Amino acid sequence: MPDNSIADLRPRQGFQPSRLIGWVGREPMTASCVAVLLFFVLVAIFAPLIAGDPIALNPAERLTSSSESAIWGRDHLGRDVFARAVYGTRTSMLVGFSVAGLTTLFGVAIGIYAGMSRIGGAVIMRLNDAMMAIPAILLAIALASLMNAGVVTVIIAITLPEIPRMVRLVRSVVLGVREQPYVAAATSIGTSGLAMVWRHILPNTLGPVLVQATYACASAIIASAVLSFLGVGTSPEVPSWGGMMADARSYFRIHPELMAYPGALLSMLVLVVNILGDRLSDALDPRKTRRGSL
Amino acid sequence: MSSKPYLSLDKISKTYALGREKFGGPERFLQAVDQISLDVPRGETLGLVGESGCGKSSLARLIMQLERPSSGAIAFDGVDPAGLNATELKAARQRFQMIFQDPYASLNPRMRARAIIAEALVNFRKGNAEEINRRVEELAIQVGLSSFHLDRFPHELSGGQCQRIGIARAIALSPDLIVADEPVSALDVSIQAQILNLIVRLQEEMGLTLVFISHDLSVVSHVADRVAVMYLGRIVELGKTADLFGRPAHPYTRTLLTAVPRPMPSSRGKRSRISGELPSPLNPPSGCHFRTRCSFADARCAAEVPVLRVIGGAQQAACHHAEDIQATLNQDEIETDNA
């Protein structure tokens, strides 16, 4: 009798440090992006351990450059710029990942329905078109100013205009997947309804969706900064990169570093997320997976 | 042969609306399947041949209830699935299964072979997880796969192995009828023979009724009891394999047969080469669809649609000149034999 257990046929078993080193060597770009993203995540989680109080005012030392108590200097109210930047990572990451998650959840659910149902699909796509006709940032500003200022408000305000983009992508992918012979094969063996979506449609739609989710994450980080910059984002006492840049605007000529610190962090995080999204689209395709990838 | 056909097609047609070519222009229709009537007795292998685009695959999708015919009726053992509700249709699907042309595209790339074969059994609750797993292992052995293949993804397997998985999936529910839509045309020649023999063996073991679609006449002659030749959505000739290949009555069948490569130069007869292009199925010729490429065509062929009629024994042809053509063919044979 042949051994039928699945476990011993799997090519990989557990974590092997040599594989990780080999992967870093083959894909230095992806590896460094993962490292940077990991760094940002750790900074966001351990912010209280890294930096001091981001809210405490110290008007006596306002607009001073690097000192022992504040290594990146202090802003126009005498707040610790380094601490604010560190805590701002929290806000940006929270908004970015929440928006990506919510957009994916709603976008996939609505998009798959729109792709599977002819009449429902037509109705949804017209509503979608109508929503996409409104500039996303204007819609976000309108929504944010309608509700109380806060992180939750910002997340909702950015997610809503982002969903139609995801719906449109999901629907177009679903329409393609539906025509695949394996869907016809599944129909002929009696698969239908939710089982069809769950086993065949959803798994083969997810690749492009996850890539789009990373772009949604990156653009949400920027959008939250824009909302803060315009003064409709999180409340002023919550440290955010956009808010810091808005505050720094008046002092740009004398203290450009006040804008440079949050700006550089924002660009770096968005860049890293975008590159990883690109790599993800290749890695998620089982046919394109390179031998020995992690 | 049993008197009662297992699969019965009664004048089924399928028309696709293609919309207008330009704004305000006439609406265009594609007649993929045109009034096809066909009976397949239980246990028979019917070969269905024809050029690409002649409606073979559309016919397969109609039989498989993946699409509804525009008109006409299909019956399995006397039951028309068009009259069934969703639950009854799902139950009825156990009895007819399909083998697909593209072995890779017909398997979900994100499922392991084991899950692909098991899916049918899970859908119809054929036992608990352990029983289903055991049945999948049996099916794998039946189609010539080892159990380690079952834990692979389709892209980790060869085309032949993928087609074996497709076949295992098709026989998992012990169907009565299998529609094989060009099951070997995407495979290497060496693998083709293996898969063909597998299909023939399974048919004998399980007493399957088989509709075998192919554009390869040598493949069809190997497996089929009867052969139907299709041209632009219509059946132009139907008969026992030996009769049809030996004494073709329709000029299209004749040209198809002369196009089959022969290894012996001495056995190569005069080639009746087909002239012209396949006419657009959007705008087929009037009367006989084949008349634009036929050397026997006359005024009657343009005016009257030839119906499929018996021209001797079990052989039927849809040609006004079928008898004459059969006679001239025999003349040719005598001449080449004498030479």
Q: Which residue has the higher pLDDT, B82 or A182?
A: A182
At residue A61, the pLDDT reads 77
Residues of A in contact with B155 (CB under 8 A): 286-287
- Band of residue A4 on the pLDDT scale cut at 50, 70, 90: very low
B239-B245-B248 Cα angle (round to 5): 75
Residue B210 β-bridge partners: B45, B178
pLDDT band at B203 (very low <50, low <70, confident <90, very high): very high
Q: Give the span between the Cα atoms of A230 and A243, in whole angstroms.
A: 8
Euclidean distance between CA atoms B128 and B132, whole angstroms:
6
Question: Over the Cα atoms of chain A, what is R_g?
Answer: 23
Distance from CA of B210 to the nearest CA of A (A): 16
- A293 pLDDT band, cuts 50/70/90, is very low
More confident residue, B230 or B339: B230
Out of A6, A181, A190, the one facing B120 most closely (by C-beta) is A190
* Mean pLDDT in residue range B59-66: 93
Q: Are B131 and B172 in contact (CB under 8 A)?
A: no
Q: Which residues of B touch A (CB under 8 A)?
A: 61, 64-66, 86, 90, 93-94, 96-98, 100-102, 105-111, 119-120, 123-124, 137, 146-148, 151, 153, 155, 166, 169, 172-173
Model pLDDT, residue A19: 75
Using 50, 70 and 90 to split pLDDT, how confident is the model at A1? very low
Task: Please state, rounded to an integer, the average pLDDT across all residues of chain A.
Answer: 85
Question: Which neighbouring-strand residues pair with B229?
Answer: B49, B237
Across the A:B interface, residue pairs with CB atoms under 8 Å apart total 77
Q: What is the pLDDT of residues A71-95, one digit of tens each?
A: 888 888 888 889 999 999 998 899 9
Q: Are strands B316-317 and B309-310 parallel, antiparallel or unpaired?
A: antiparallel
Q: What is the pTM of this model?
A: 0.82
Q: Which residues of A touch B108 (CB under 8 A)?
A: 182, 186, 199-200, 203-204
Contact A287, B157 (CB under 8 A): no
| CB of B159 closer than 8 Å to CB of B187 | yes
Calculate the average pLDDT of chain B.
Answer: 87
Tens digit of each residue's pLDDT (9 = 90 or more) over A133-190: 998 888 888 888 888 878 898 999 999 999 999 999 999 999 999 999 999 999 999 9
Residue extents of the structural domains in chain A: 26-283
Cβ–Cβ contact A18 with B under 8 A? no
Name the residue with higher pLDDT: A17 or B270.
A17
Are β-strands B45-49 and B209-214 bridged in parallel, bridged antiparallel, or unpaired?
parallel
Whether residue A99 is predicted with pLDDT greater than 50 in this model: the reply is: yes
- Is residue A8 pLDDT above 60, yes or no? no
- In eight-state DSSP terms, residue B94 is G
Question: In B207-240, which ranges are continuous DSSP H helix?
Answer: 217-223
Calculate how close chain A gets to B94, using CA atoms only, in Å: 7
C-alpha distances in Å from residue B185, one per residue of A64, A272, B210, B283: 77, 46, 17, 28
pLDDT of amino acid B248: 87
- Statement: residue A3 has pLDDT above 60: no
- Could you tell me if A235 lies within 8 Å of chain B, comparing CB atoms? no
φ/ψ (deg, to 5) at B311 = -125, 25
| Percentage with pLDDT > 90 across chain B | 52
Average pLDDT over residues A23-38: 88
Distance of CA A138 to the CA centre of its chain: 20
Give the CA-trace dihedral at B215, B217, B220, B221, to 10 degrees. Answer: 170
A152-211 residues touching B, CB cutoff 8 A: 180-182, 184-192, 195, 199-200, 203-204
User: B138-145 long-range contacts, Cβ below 8 Å, gap at least 24?
Assistant: B139/B168, B139/B171, B139/B172, B140/B113, B140/B168, B142/B168, B142/B171, B142/B202, B143/B167, B143/B168, B143/B171, B143/B198, B143/B202, B144/B194, B144/B198, B145/B113
Tell whether A60 lies on the interface with B, counting CB pairs under 8 A: no
Residues A156, A232 contacting (CB under 8 angstroms): no
Average pLDDT for residues A188-213, to the nearest whole number?
A: 91
Which of these ranges, A45-59, B38-52, B273-287, has the smallest mean pLDDT?
B273-287
Tell me the chain B residues in contact with residue A2 when contact means C-beta distances shorter than 8 Å: 146-148
Gap from A190 CA to chain B (nearest CA, Å): 5
The yes-or-no verdict on residue B120 having pLDDT over 90 is: yes
Q: Which residues of A touch B106 (CB under 8 A)?
A: 181-182, 184-185
Residue B7: how many other CB atoms lie within 10 Å: 22
pLDDT band at A213 (very low <50, low <70, confident <90, very high): very high
pLDDT digits (tens, 9 = 90+) for B122-151: 999 888 999 999 999 999 999 999 989 999
pLDDT digits (tens, 9 = 90+) for B146-186: 989 999 999 999 999 999 999 999 999 999 999 999 999 88
Distance from CA of A200 to the nearest CA of B (A): 7
CB-nearest partner of B93 from A182, A190, A195:
A190
Residues in chain B within 8 Å Cβ distance of A286: 109-110, 153, 155
Residue B139: the pLDDT is 95
Mean pLDDT of B319-339: 67
φ, ψ at B138 (rounded to 5°):
-60, -45
Q: What is the pLDDT of residue B270?
A: 59
User: What's the pLDDT band for B65 if we cut at 50, 70, 90?
Assistant: very high
Mutation choice for B interface testing from A3, A180, A183, A188 by most B CBs within 10 A: A188
Higher-pLDDT residue of A4, A231: A231
Instruction: Compare B24 and B128 and report the one with higher pLDDT.
Output: B128
Q: A26-283, what's its fold?
A: MetI-like fold (1.10.3720)
C-alpha distance from B157 to closest chain A C-alpha (Å): 12
Of B61, B109, B148, the CB nearest to A9: B148
